[in-house]
Every structure is written in structure tokens, then in C-alpha cells.
Amino acid sequence: MSHSPRLIPVAEPANPEATVLVLHGGASREDDPAVSPTQLSVLRMVPIAKRVGRSGRRRLAVYRLLNSTRGWDTRHTPVDDVDWAITQLQERTPAGLPIGLVGHSLGGRAALLAGDRADVRSVVALNPWVYPTDGDLDLSGRRVLIAHGTDDRVAIPAKSEAAAQNVARTADLSYVRVAGGKHAMLRRGRTFERLAAEFTASCLLDDREPSDLVRQVLAARAPLQL
């Protein structure tokens, strides 16, 4: 059975200045490949999407993407769903609006791999499940943040650090180690939310004064631990 991706609106201001697409993770399941709006990996992104919307102060259009299938189907990957979603956003919003991608786990991987799409200006990958070679792409002109909990036992932080070194060859990259953070982002959840929201708003809104947290992240020349 085939399934279709879906966009869930979180914030739709009348005159948005940029658009943010929030991407969930979640492992595959052979018995039910469909994505449910109530599965935990999807629900984890709800507070993050809302925080991004609040941080945008009615200047950011924010949408959550529900993938066509769970996990990472190599025949139709979450990156294909991101491509579909970006096309939908470009039809719904004024032409040429910058786009920010925010993803967790496999959604973080999808955000990185889709970061070279047209109009994408910023990428945030939270506890991304990646291969080191996932950073072998050209993200010139993008600002990228990878934030990874030090106690993540599902997505190995060392792999995202290796991928980050590759991303840094072309992109303006920041890497944050969230002390004690685990994969589900329940521990240190507010830190993950703040990083995603404030970094994205600062990157997409040209006249937005960076918060003290974002200044600290942008100024770091090596992995920063919070």
C-alpha cells in the first residue's frame, strides 16, 4: 500500500518573510509502514515547531511534514518527501522566500541531505542519525547547526561530528554538544527547542538580532558544549 506525505500547518502569518519545515524521525515498522500523527517520533517535534513559530513573532510560516512512510525506505526516502514539501511550500507562499529545515533523528539526516535545495538558507539537525559521509555535499551559503545529546545511544554523536567536519568544508557550520541529552530529547528538551527556534529565526530573518545563545553558538570555532 502506498502512502502520501502530509503537511501540517503550525503558523501561517498573513505576510510571512520565510518558511520553516519541521521533520520528524522514527524507525521503520514492517507491520505498519504508515506514519501516524500520534506516534512518539512525530509528537516530539510538536513543541519544537510551536517554539519556532513563537520565535518568529508572526514572521515565519511553519509547517510539520509527515513522511510518506516510517523510517528510511531507500526506494522513496524522506528526502523525496522534503522535495515534495518544498514544492508545496513554494506554491503556498510568496516566491523566493528563504526556507529553514529543522529535523530530528532521521529527520535531521533528511534536513542535511536536502539542505542544498533551492531557497534553503538554514538547516538544524537535532540528534541526527547519519553516516559520516552524509556531509559530503555542497551547502555553500547555508547556515547549519547540528545539536547532539552526549548521552544519545540511538544516533551516535561521533558519527554526526564526523559528518559535521565534512559539512564544514562548504557551509557555515556550528556544532553543539548538549550535555546529558538523550535521543528522545526529553532530557534537556528546552535546550534543544531553544537552539532550533532561535537559530532558525536568526538565520531566516535578516534584521533579527541574535539572542545571547545564538551569539554563543555562532562564535564557537569548535564544538560547543551546553
Q: Where are the alpha helices (DSSP H) in 116-184?
A: 157-167
For the chain, the average pLDDT equals 92
Q: Measured between alpha carbons, how far is 198 from 210 in angstroms, rounded to an integer? A: 8
User: Are 144 and 123 spatial neighbours (Cβ–Cβ below 8 Å)?
Assistant: yes
Q: Where are the alpha helices (DSSP H) in 135-224?
A: 157-167, 189-204, 212-219
| Phi-psi sector, 149: left (phi>0), alpha (psi -120 to 50), beta | beta
Q: pLDDT tens digit string along 171-214?
A: 999 999 999 999 999 999 999 999 999 999 999 998 888 889 99
Residue 133: pLDDT band (50, 70, 90) is confident
Model pTM?
0.94
Q: pLDDT tens digit string along 3-44?
A: 889 999 999 999 999 999 999 998 776 666 778 888 888 899
Rg from Cα positions in the chain: 16
E-only strand ranges, 18-59? 18-23
